[in-house]
């Protein structure tokens, strides 16, 4: 029995997609990964270097030390999963503070976390800042950057050609896909297939982040106050949830309250 080239391509793509399945920590959500961990780390590093070349790092020694301290504690928790809840990552963690009034923070693949000073009035305390850093470390732990890029690859080339695209895109040494990585992390996404997945990842990072900060000795109940203050700061800047890459504030708060008992099981206060 002979198969036509289109059918063979479709079968190859299906096999590639099935082979690329993974599961997210804590949630167990099925993930499609068409980007290897080494490619993800390399592209994340290049994107990180591009970001730092354009941003002004904070010269406040106290603030930068605090961000680094919190980051190291949470990263250490990520690297020592209790009961093999997830596979320990192999990242070279970095935590940088950028002098920018925008209330923002983000994580690039491979454990490169950037915190803007504009978020500090909202986080207020060390535990409050741990909420944000835990969320960003969770993005790295769950490999959301690679997953978003994989989604974008499929959206661009079509599912039936994904097997061919794999060999041409990921397997090669071409690094022109760094802009795609940046786009996959928030810029240029389109309503429809990509944005709902992004919202799912943001909610997932909230849940994983609560567990991570608890394991690091920070009270996960601080997340309620942080997101309430974030909601207040967003007053007058409302974006419909179905057009947003983040869950609506009311949805996020309800979910966090639901997940708190899970996180509290791992919480042991530290000095």
Nearest to 265 by CA among 85, 129, 136, 88: 85
Burial 180-194 (b: 16+ CB within 10 A, else e): bbbbbbeeebeeeeb
10 Å Cβ neighbour count for 6? 10
Residue 136 annotated in active site: yes
- Residue 162 CA to residue 154 CA, distance in Å, equals 6
Q: Which two tokens stand for residue 106?
A: 């983000």
Closest Cα to residue 263, out of 82, 129, 67, 72?
A: 82
Of 39, 136, 147, 204, which is the active-site residue? Answer: 136
Structure tokens at 218: 């920070």
Output the CA–CA distances (angstroms, integers) from residue 161 to 17, 149, 205, in the order listed. 11, 16, 30
The catalytic residues are 136
């Amino acid at each position: 029995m002979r198969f036509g080239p289109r059918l063979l391509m479709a079968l190859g793509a299906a096999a590639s997609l099935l082979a690329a399945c993974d599961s997210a920590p804590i949630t167990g959500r099925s993930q499609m990964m068409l980007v290897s961990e080494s490619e993800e780390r390399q592209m994340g590093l290049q994107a990180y270097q591009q970001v730092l070349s354009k941003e002004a790092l904070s010269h406040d020694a106290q603030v930068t030390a605090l961000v680094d301290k919190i980051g190291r504690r949470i990263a250490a928790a990520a690297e020592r999963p209790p009961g093999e809840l997830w596979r320990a990552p192999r990242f070279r963690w970095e935590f940088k503070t950028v002098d920018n009034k925008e209330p923002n923070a983000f994580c690039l693949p491979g454990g490169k976390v950037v915190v803007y000073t504009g978020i500090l009035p909202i986080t207020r305390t060390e535990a409050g800042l741990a909420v944000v850093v835990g969320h960003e470390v969770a993005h790295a732990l769950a490999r959301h950057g690679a997953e978003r890029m994989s989604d974008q690859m499929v959206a661009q080339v079509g599912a039936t050609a994904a097997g061919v695209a794999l060999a041409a895109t990921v397997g090669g040494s071409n690094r022109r896909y760094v802009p795609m990585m940046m786009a996959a992390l928030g810029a240029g996404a389109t309503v429809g297939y990509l944005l709902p997945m992004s919202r799912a990842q943001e909610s997932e990072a909230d849940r994983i982040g609560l567990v991570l900060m608890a394991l690091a000795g920070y009270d996960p109940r601080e997340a309620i106050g942080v997101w309430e203050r974030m909601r207040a700061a967003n007053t007058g800047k409302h974006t419909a949830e179905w057009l947003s890459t983040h869950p609506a504030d009311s949805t996020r708060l309800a979910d966090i309250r639901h997940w708190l008992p899970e996180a509290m099981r791992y919480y042991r206060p530290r000095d």
